[in-house]
Amino acid sequence: MKLLDSGLWSLDRGRMMKSNKFIIHKKDTKTKARRGTLTTAHGTIESPFFMPVGTNATVKAIPFEDLLEMDSQIILSNTYHLYIRPGMEVIKENGGLHQFMKWDKPILTDSGGFQVFSLAKLRKIKDEGVEFQSHFDGSLHFFTPEKVMEIERTLGSDIIMPLDECVGYPCEQSQAKSACQRTTLWAKRSKDFFVKNFLARNGQLLFGIVQGSSFKDLRERSAKEIVDIGFDGYAIGGISVGEPVEVMFESLDFTMPFLPEDSPRYMMGIGMPDQMVMAVARGVDMFDTCIPTRYGRYGTVFTKQGKLVIRNGEYSVDQRPMDESCECFACRKYTRSYIRHLFNVGEILGLYLASYHNLYFYLQLMRNIRSAIEAGNFAEFQKEFLSCYNSTS
Amino acid sequence: MKLLDSGLWSLDRGRMMKSNKFIIHKKDTKTKARRGTLTTAHGTIESPFFMPVGTNATVKAIPFEDLLEMDSQIILSNTYHLYIRPGMEVIKENGGLHQFMKWDKPILTDSGGFQVFSLAKLRKIKDEGVEFQSHFDGSLHFFTPEKVMEIERTLGSDIIMPLDECVGYPCEQSQAKSACQRTTLWAKRSKDFFVKNFLARNGQLLFGIVQGSSFKDLRERSAKEIVDIGFDGYAIGGISVGEPVEVMFESLDFTMPFLPEDSPRYMMGIGMPDQMVMAVARGVDMFDTCIPTRYGRYGTVFTKQGKLVIRNGEYSVDQRPMDESCECFACRKYTRSYIRHLFNVGEILGLYLASYHNLYFYLQLMRNIRSAIEAGNFAEFQKEFLSCYNSTS
């Protein structure tokens, strides 16, 4: 870890850690849940929070006006996808990602690492970076940590994730170890680039990503190395890559003790509603997943009792709303019978209504979580939610 | 025409014609354009007007809130499609079509005739009715004029179209003649059923449909027979079935002189913006076509200058709105560059924005037409519109 001894890192680490962009207003006494605020260049976000996924500069099927209406505080977009299409020249000509999609609230962009490792073809990883073929047209590209930072600067993200190496599950310990080492190396180079080239910073935040697969010692080591470099927040990466839920929470539990109390913690790519509640109880502050919109497009909607497959014949004349306890406009207005019909005949309004409800459900769940922490009864909230929610439905 | 001599028809014809549901407020002096109002059970509609098409109990890609926002006065839905899916039992259980899709403004339903003749398989037409196989599952069905009226009563339409026989283009005169005769026969039976079974009427209007393909004598004869039966309004059917535009307008011109001045005239299934302007000049009051939403879904948008294919590479960094003279929210907010990107990556927001703009364009065109008639300068409006609009773009 010789790089860590350089004055640059410790100096800058101090600067970054003192930025006070994240403030914890209340800690739950019975769990590790926290109620806070994260300040970005495009506004302050109440935590814990969920980020709707807008891969291609749009949250699938949902106009931005609806995201505002349902009080989405931030959205996530994908560096890899935007780099491939429309490409950086188009984003630049449009004045950055906010201006391109006319969203003036915060944006987090991932690093593209996950997509390079899951979508791209013929990737060759070396310490310098990763060479890959576009999943779209087979064209050859080379991502270095520096290049990814450059892309995210062009996008104008409020929360920037550095390039990391993400492994699948199951995975050999040796492979997971090598990915951790490269992730640390790339994290240093990313921060170096950030410090040198984002001098004005414009309020942009840089997060670090912890890897380590399901191995306790690797998780600890990765967390310590990433925290040593010093970032504005810390993400638990390499989860939700095919492992059982128990293993996912184990990996989380291996990591959390080594993340600083006063920084935001981001559990990447999860999850189901019950999993988010359980993760908040462990001290997680941020979530993202395409589940609400993806499930919505395929006709599965979330309810207080669990998932409901709206296409099913049993709903053909059902006059109830998708979720009887939901107050979203789709549930206040439409019957299951109507929405089932829309899916049966392949109408866009169906997937719009289901996606809208699901996103509302996720955002409302986060509002309820925040209220419960504020009111000092998060443990009770968790117990009641989990007793009602059937995760296997 | 022996049936026409029965006291029932003439008696009822008098009743229907005296209903004064359609009032002409102003007639243009230089053209045959008229500015009127048509009163239905779900509200009064300013004419001339355009009806967005909601085939499956939804206007494709456009939530009903948007239709209200862009001031759509009425929508059209399809009897055949709703009869096949979700089926009448589901509509009944939901309390009718208005309640099913939560649209409390007027609805016009077509008779299903056009779909039976264009979509259904293995149809057998006889005077009693038409037997056909569902295009969806091959199941066998039999539509009679009476059954179609029954279906439309269950739907609860505000403007009801009776079953007719629609022929394609080109078509032998003998075939067109036989279709006209059957259309007249069915029109009589439809009205008979309406008079006997819609006693309360609930403000529901029944229209007649004129056929006759492109034959002058058939158009005249069909118009006279249908008008003799007596309806609340008259539709020019059997157009937009593959014929050249000149032939379509010829068929219209063959028909119009025989339609009563004081009844609404509905040109079914057209058209392009310039065609609607030209039809209004000939005295047409009502239009419907799926063009704005269908073209929108495939990335073609309407502008004052004509069609624009937003997918084209030339728009990749174009910072202008879809239509520079449009004030719809999509044009006020988004660049061609962004919308082109959305189409390129197959995002629903793209087809939503293009469909939204196109529908707004059609409805705004109708508002402009109405204003021009009111202001007494429709002829100038028509000239200016057509000189600017390139129909071959």
pLDDT at B368: 98
- Using DSSP's 3-state secondary structure scheme, residue B26 falls into strand
Q: Which residue has the higher pLDDT, A54 or B137?
A: A54
Strands (E), B167-318: 205-210, 233-236, 265-267, 286-288, 300-303, 306-309
Chain A contacts of B312, Cβ < 8 Å?
none
Cβ distance A337 to B94 less than 8 Å, yes or no, reads: yes
Of B60, B89, B334, the CB nearest to A102: B334
Angle at A266 between CA A261 and CA A269, to 5 degrees: 160
Q: Is the dihedral of CA B1, B3, B9, B10 positive or negative?
A: positive
Residue tagged active-site, from B28, B110, B164, B192: B110
> What would the mean pLDDT of B113-130 be, rounded to a whole number?
86
Alpha carbon dihedral A180, A182, A188, A192, in 10-degree steps, equals -150
Angle between helix axes B245-255 and B273-281 (nearest 10 degrees) is 20
> How sure is the predictor about B121, in pLDDT bands with cuts at 50, 70 and 90?
confident
- B346 burial level (CB within 10 Å; 0-12, 13-18, 19+): exposed
Q: Which residue has the higher pLDDT, B174 or A197?
A: B174
Q: Is a pLDDT exceeding 70 seen at residue B4?
A: no
Q: Which residue has the higher pLDDT, B118 or A293?
A: A293
* Chain B residue with minimum CA distance to A101: B338
Q: Is a pLDDT exceeding 90 seen at residue A7?
A: no
pLDDT at A117: 80
> How sure is the predictor about B118, in pLDDT bands with cuts at 50, 70 and 90?
confident
B63 inside 8 A of chain A by CB:
yes
Cβ distance A57 to B338 less than 8 Å, yes or no, reads: yes
Model confidence over A81-118: pLDDT tens digits? 999 999 999 999 999 999 999 999 999 999 888 888 88
Model confidence over B241-291: pLDDT tens digits? 999 999 999 999 999 999 999 999 999 999 999 999 999 999 999 999 999
Chain B contacts of A345, Cβ < 8 Å?
56, 81, 85
- Listed in sequence order, the residues at least 6 apart from B186 whose beta carbon sits closer than 8 Å to its beta carbon are B145, B162, B163, B164, B165
Q: Which residue has the higher pLDDT, B16 or A79?
A: A79
Cβ distance A338 to B61 less than 8 Å, yes or no, reads: no
> What would the mean pLDDT of B329-339 be, rounded to a whole number?
98
CB of B180 closer than 8 Å to CB of B211: yes
CB of B358 closer than 8 Å to CB of B302: yes
| Furthest C-alpha separation in chain A | 69
CB of B53 closer than 8 Å to CB of B75: yes
Strands (E), chain B: 22-27, 34-40, 43-47, 49-51, 75-78, 107-110, 121-125, 130-133, 140-143, 159-160, 205-210, 233-236, 265-267, 286-288, 300-303, 306-309
Does a cis peptide bond (omega within 30 degrees of 0) precede residue B260?
A: no
A320 inside 8 A of chain B by CB:
no
Choose the mutation target among A136, A349, A353 for the interface with B, i.e. most B CBs under 10 Å: A349
Chain A contacts of B317, Cβ < 8 Å?
89-90, 93-94
pLDDT at A19: 60
Of B93, B338, B348, the CB nearest to A337: B93
Angle between helix axes A173-197 and A145-155 (nearest 10 degrees) is 50
Instruction: Count CA within 13 A, CB hemisphere, residue B362.
Output: 29
> What would the mean pLDDT of A299-314 be, rounded to a whole number?
97
Residue tagged active-site, from A110, A164, A192, A285: A110
Task: Kindly state the percentage of chain B with pLDDT values over 70.
Answer: 94
> What would the mean pLDDT of A153-158 be, rounded to a whole number?
96
pLDDT at B200: 66
Of A101, A337, A338, the CB nearest to B338: A101
> What would the mean pLDDT of A328-354 be, rounded to a whole number?
98
A86 inside 8 A of chain B by CB:
yes
First to last CA, chain A: 47
Q: Is a pLDDT exceeding 70 seen at residue B310?
A: yes
Q: A173-177 contacts: CB < 8 A, separation 24 or more?
A: A173/A213, A173/A215, A173/A218, A176/A211, A176/A212, A176/A213, A176/A215, A176/A218, A176/A238, A177/A215, A177/A218
> How sure is the predictor about B19, in pLDDT bands with cuts at 50, 70 and 90?
low
- Using DSSP's 3-state secondary structure scheme, residue A69 falls into helix
A347 inside 8 A of chain B by CB:
yes
Instruction: Determine the Cα–Cα distance for residues A181 and A186; give it in Å rounded to an integer.
Output: 9
Give residues 228 to 287 of B whose Cβ lies within 8 Å of A.
none
Cβ distance A335 to B94 less than 8 Å, yes or no, reads: yes
pLDDT at A20: 79
Q: Is a pLDDT exceeding 60 seen at residue B18?
A: no
Instruction: Determine the Cα–Cα distance for residues B361 and B363; give it in Å rounded to an integer.
Output: 6
A337 inside 8 A of chain B by CB:
yes
Chain B contacts of A68, Cβ < 8 Å?
none
Q: How far is CA B62 from CA A17, A129, A142, B54, B57, in A?
A: 47, 44, 41, 10, 11
> How sure is the predictor about B33, in pLDDT bands with cuts at 50, 70 and 90?
very high
- Using DSSP's 3-state secondary structure scheme, residue A111 falls into coil
Chain B contacts of A316, Cβ < 8 Å?
86, 90
A101 inside 8 A of chain B by CB:
yes
Mean pLDDT of all residues belonging to chain A = 93
CB of B17 closer than 8 Å to CB of B40: no
Instruction: Determine the Cα–Cα distance for residues B37 and B44; give it in Å rounded to an integer.
Output: 6
* Chain A residue with minimum CA distance to B88: A317
- B362 burial level (CB within 10 Å; 0-12, 13-18, 19+): buried
> How sure is the predictor about A12, in pLDDT bands with cuts at 50, 70 and 90?
very low
Model confidence over B83-94: pLDDT tens digits? 999 999 999 999
Angle between helix axes A7-17 and A173-197 (nearest 10 degrees) is 80
pLDDT at B201: 66
A133 inside 8 A of chain B by CB:
no
> How sure is the predictor about B1, in pLDDT bands with cuts at 50, 70 and 90?
very low
Active site residue B217: no
> What would the mean pLDDT of A372-390 be, rounded to a whole number?
98
Active site residue B288: yes
- Span of A20-34, A198-212, A371-385 with lowest mean pLDDT: A198-212
User: Cα Rg for chain B, rounded, in angstroms?
Assistant: 21
Of A58, A90, A319, the CB nearest to B349: A58
- Span of B152-156, B195-199, B337-341 with lowest mean pLDDT: B195-199
Min Cα–Cα distance to chain A from B51, Å: 18
Model confidence over B144-186: pLDDT tens digits? 999 999 999 999 999 999 999 999 999 999 999 999 999 999 9
Task: Kindly state the percentage of chain A with pLDDT values over 90.
Answer: 88
Would you state the structure tokens that stand for residue A115, as one six-digit string? 């997509």
CB of B361 closer than 8 Å to CB of B276: no
Q: B374-382 contacts: CB < 8 A, separation 24 or more?
A: B374/B26, B374/B35, B376/B26, B376/B28, B376/B29, B378/B28, B378/B30, B378/B31, B378/B33, B378/B280, B378/B281, B379/B28, B379/B30, B379/B31, B379/B281, B381/B277, B382/B31, B382/B277, B382/B278, B382/B280, B382/B281
Length of chain B: 393
Model confidence over B43-72: pLDDT tens digits? 999 999 999 999 999 999 999 999 999 999
pLDDT at A200: 66
Q: Is a pLDDT exceeding 50 seen at residue A8?
A: no
pLDDT at A301: 98
Instruction: Determine the Cα–Cα distance for residues A376 and A371; give it in Å rounded to an integer.
Output: 8
